[in-house]
Chain A
Amino acid sequence: MAERSFKREVEHLRMGAGESFTGEGILAITKALLENGVGYVGGYQGAPISHLMDVLADAEGLLGELGVRFEANASEAAAAAMLAASVHYPIRGAVTFKGSVGVNVASDALANLASSGVNGGALIIVGEDYGEGSSIMQERSHAFAMKSQFWLLDPRPNLPSIVKAVGDGFELSEASNTPVMLMVRIRSCHVTGSFDCRDNQRPPLTVREALSNPQRDFSRVVLPPMSYRHEQDKIDNRWPAAEKFIRDKGLNEVFGPDTARIGIVCQGGMYNGVIRALQRLGLADIHGDSEVPIYCLNVTYPLVQGEFEAFADGKDGVLVVEEGQPEFIEQGLSTVLLRAGSKVRLHGKDMLPMAGEYTGQVMLDGITAFLREHAPGLLPGQVRAPNEPAPEIPDLSQTVPIRPPGFCTGCPERPIFAAMKLVEEELGTHQITGDIGCHLFASLPPFEIGGSTMGYGLGPASNAAFDGGGERRAISFLGDGGFWHNGLSSSIGNMVFNQSDSVAVIVDNYYSAATGGQDVLSSRAANPTKTTQQPIAAALRGVGVKWVRQIDHTYDVGKMRDTIREALTTEVTGPKVIVASSECMLNRQRREKPLRNAAIKGGSRVEVPRFGVDADICTGDHACIRLSGCPSLSLKRLDDPLRDDPIAHIDQSCVGCGNCGEVADAAVLCPSFYRADVVHNPKGVERWWQALSARFIGWLQARRAARRLEFPEVAQ
């Protein structure tokens, strides 16, 4: 069950011709797939295309009606491999994952797919995780298209263009027997807008029907000598076919006047940013009608030589707006101009930054620099000679704290890392590697645990050099998502085979949590369309791990600490693996809170726990926060001039996970924490006993109060 449900939105996917769809880019892509008669879809979740997977999962009913097969693939490699169905069969298939890391994982399958070539349209929808909000290394998926020679679409970021690109992509793929990658950037995935629907199409040949009539074509197998022929085929046939299709169908667009001395070439995804800069310079109107000609590359690979030559013809200068590095497109276009002996001056990374997102300001600066060089008369007077000094606004860079993502309130991973920190205080610092997933937040303050992340499921593998052991064992962390993605073979299998002496901790929160709570093999809940409840510990034993410890309640910090210590100090040889399991609190609350509220309303006895801090006992040293970082554990100032420092305070958002109390106990911090369980709808005997206890306690309290001076407090 994903964090966000699209059940309501999925109904929009049934819309037909004459209706207008309004919503998010991701949903528009799903709708476009159905309109284009896709036969099978799959993928692996990850920002920014997680929602695409969630929509597909929620739409399984509709997909079934249309005869479309949906797979939540085990990894991006598995997803890309699934496109093999389009190699031999004339069936359209689409898979989705994130770029560039997902593309990295998929690259083996993608290269083979590209070599084989396809009969049915094969579309790879990549959510390019680049720029603000990205959670990965900053690279471009573009390089993969170039090295394997499949085609790359980068449509303008509005719903009609994105939807059109899906159809264009399938047709281009079929026209050139080449897989096509459709790239959508973070903001495009979540951009909202409208487009006119068409009717959904059943695939002309469904995968079920194809199974009844198996096909194979030896010439598509990647083995010598066919693989040599594939390479020649790419250059001699597929590429020219693609260029022809792109030109004939007008996939790339030209805007603005036909005759001008300057022009801009941009990736489709950069179009809106370019227009905004031109709008701000008074060179484009609200509809995007520009004074400066724009050659918009909705297909960024391959480049269509003739098209570009025609655009550049007669111009003095052309600016290439290409986000990210290296500047593949600019290099390609330079080669075109050079070979043609053209005198057109090509600009790009000399006026725009080589690295980083092209934000509004960057785009404005770059285009202004280009115009200043080639058409200064076009610039508004204010830009040519700014006269009004900007007002002096105080520098807040020393004031405003950074706010990186972190563990959520009540996260079951927090106590694991609190325990790890306690163990390190005892045994010294260790060599620790992390993996991809929420648990990587442990590398940030307050935990600062783990120094590297090499890839999904590769946490333990990235400690392999230290597997021989030493004075202190190496430790690695791996999530349940990473474990099933790649970790079981690449990391755990590797440890067993190489007789590793290291320790691996598998952080099992029952979901692929960081990507939005999708189910994995070991998820605890029953899933009507997927097989779950496959224990990680059984898989570990299955591949030969002898020392396995299963912890089913990570909030027990003491036990967590003792288990990690045991793994680090035991005489047992071979890999030591701890499976630390507790449910992701976001998902748990989403599931349990409505049930609990209903139970309270229905009159059932329910205990609602929450933690608190005694303000008088807390001394404001914040040691508890350094072992937690929980959003609900914050600070408050006391209205007491005797106190210098703010004290710890737990706010309403506390879910009563218990970490605070456990940590205070295990780390011997302080006695300020308490847990208060409010009992809703107590039953008769309990109510009677509670009243009696309260009377006894009240009597004692009054007795003491009468014999000494007490200073009443005033609540504010």
Chain B
Amino acid sequence: MTVQQALAPRQPDAKLGTIIKLAVMAVGGQGGGVLTNWIEAVARAQGYACQATSVAGVAQRTGATIYYIEMAPMGARAPVFSLAPAAGDVDILIAAEMMEAGRAIMRGFVTPDRTTLIASTHRALAVSEKMAPGDGIASSEEVRAAAELAADRLVLFDMDDMAAANGSVISSSLFGALAGSGALPFPRAAFEDAIRASGKGVEASLRAFGAAYERAQNGAAEPAGAGEKPVRAVTNTPHGPQRLLEKWEALASRARALPGPVPAMALHGLRKVVGFQDVEYGAEYMDRLEGIAALDDAAQGHELSLEAAKYIANAMAYDDVIRVADLKTRAARFARIRAEMGAGDRPVALTEFMHPRAEEIAGLLPAGIGARIEASPKWMARLDRWFNRGRRVRTHRPGSFLMLYVLGGLRGYRRRTLRHRHEQAHLDRWLTAVRQAVARDYVLGVELLRCRRLIKGYSDTHARGLSKFDRVMQGAEMLRGREDAAQWVARLREAALQDEKGEALEGALQTVRSFV
């Protein structure tokens, strides 16, 4: 088809290249509006025509929100600016959170030919990430990898942490990173003037701005996910009376004698069970672990022993009333809370939220009596009447503290409780199943060990976890003898961690039932 030439093509206007297009992607409530105002103020003060737009509305209520700015040197006539960013046409993208950087990349706002991506690596987790009964946190690493490919230039560090460290909020450090990146043709002083002119929290804002400016200038990027740095670490070197330290050392050398990579994990496990009960309990742990390790296979990288070291410890250090009371009354906890709350030397009043049920009370009784009471609905109802209500325990008060302290001191008696009997029986059944599995199918044995992850929480949550664990173990029973049994058990476990009620698990079990 011949098409008549309607108009002659011409060279694009060179001045179009002078328009700087900048988008800010933030989580509602992060101060994206303040940042936008600052950027506008700098641009106008530097003789630029500037236009900003935003989409406020309810998206601001913790949802993803976007601000957009265009600027160009002021001429005799005003430029025509766009009101929204377009894919492939953004020069500077500021992401106030790591997943928002990912969202910007997904939307095509970050392209290798032009975009400077300035992103904070910290995470503000979305509800969907937090809700999962397992680990639903999205991978910052994947976003980082994509950012490295997608961006022309990358300024990436934890700007939230930097702002907090300087007593300010993230808009200041984002602004500093923008200035330090050199992506805008304005001097540092112009940015600082904009902060000063806004007149609120100026000193703190300037401090955070300066820190981020330096950091962006130096260009050193930090690993993604640094924003998820762990709260604290625990050492495996105990303090305590000499007599106990010697016993610990004996156990530790047993742990160190385990093959391959196992000792490190075994020491962690040992620390947990000894901390939970005492060194004798540690010896029981080592007995169990060595029993499993004897079945291990070096060719498989000692995976069985590794998982056993981890999950046997978790199973032995179950969450009972005594443990909770003990943990709540430790000096280290009090110090930690003071530090977290920034209390300094001010008094801190503590309120614990506890809600014991008949099950917890019965579990605390000597095994014989406890079992009889547990079997009697009448007695259980009575216990509920006496104990089952929310209790606010003010642990900073001597009386309340003493109550919990005494409860926490019942460790010597714990082995005689009903709860301990239940836990031991459950542990033995589980390890027996593991041993039987290993005899035929090593990987299945490993997977069965890992299923212990399903048991967590208190009260109903704990019961639900137990029931999921039982159902997966039953599923394993159905799969006995199949070559893909281990794979299926892993799948069942992952399904069980997906939702609270175990609907995904039920679906997976249906599938298993359909083919066995």
Contacts and interface: CB of A to CB of B under 8 A. Distances in A.
Contacts of B50: 192
Interface in B52-67: 52-66
A191 B18 CA distance: 20
B353 A664 contact: yes
Contact of A637 (B15, B78, B230, B340): B230
Given A273-B84, A375-B3, A634 B130 contact: yes
Interface stretch (A57-65, A144-152, A497-505, A698-706): A698-706
A607 B85 CA distance: 46
A451 interface: no
B87 interface: yes
A712 B82 contact: no
Contacts, number: 469
Interface stretch (A214-222, A229-237, A615-623): A615-623
A391 B151 CA distance: 11
Given A405-B58, A642-B272, A714 B127 contact: no
Interface in B189-245: 228-241, 244-245
Given A393-B146, A396-B143, 12 more contacts: A192-B50, A284-B80, A360-B84, A374-B6, A401-B126, A405-B60, A629-B131, A637-B137, A665-B353, A670-B461, A674-B353, A675-B351
Interface in B7-37: 7-13, 15-16, 18-19, 27-29
A549 B352 CA distance: 30
Contacts of A285: 13, 15-16
Contacts of B295: none
Interface in B39-87: 40, 44, 50-66, 68, 72, 75, 77-87
Given A621-B461, A714-B233, A133 B59 contact: yes
Contacts of B77: 287
A680 B398 contact: no
A132 interface: yes
How many chain B residues sit at the interface, stated as a range, is 35 or more
Contacts of B137: 635, 637, 646
A712 B335 CA distance: 12
B7 A375 contact: yes
B149 A391 contact: yes
A420 to B, nearest CB: 17
B341 interface: yes
Interface string B321-332: 000100111111
B99 interface: yes
Nearest to A697: B401
Interface stretch (B104-112, B177-185, B439-447): B104-112
A713 B239 contact: no
Contacts of B465: 621
Contacts of B405: 700, 704
B131 A715 contact: no
Contacts of A280: 86, 89
Given A620-B456, A621-B456, A671-B458, A639 B334 contact: no
A714 B237 CA distance: 12
A14 to B, nearest CB: 21
B142 to A, nearest CB: 5
B402 interface: yes
A133 B194 CA distance: 28
A157 interface: yes
B262 to A, nearest CB: 12
B291 interface: no
16 contacts: A188-B53, A191-B52, A284-B80, A286-B75, A380-B12, A405-B58, A408-B62, A612-B341, A625-B131, A642-B313, A671-B352, A693-B401, A711-B238, A713-B234, A714-B235, A716-B229
Nearest to A280: B89
Interface in A659-716: 660-662, 664-671, 673-680, 682, 686-687, 690, 693-694, 696-698, 700-702, 704-716
Which of B40, B401, B457 is packed against the most chain A CB atoms within 10 Å? B457
B349 interface: yes
B87 A360 contact: yes
B396 A693 contact: yes
B382 interface: no
Interface string B242-272: 0011001000000000000000110011011
Contacts of A710: 238-240, 275, 330, 332
B354 interface: yes
Contacts of A392: 149
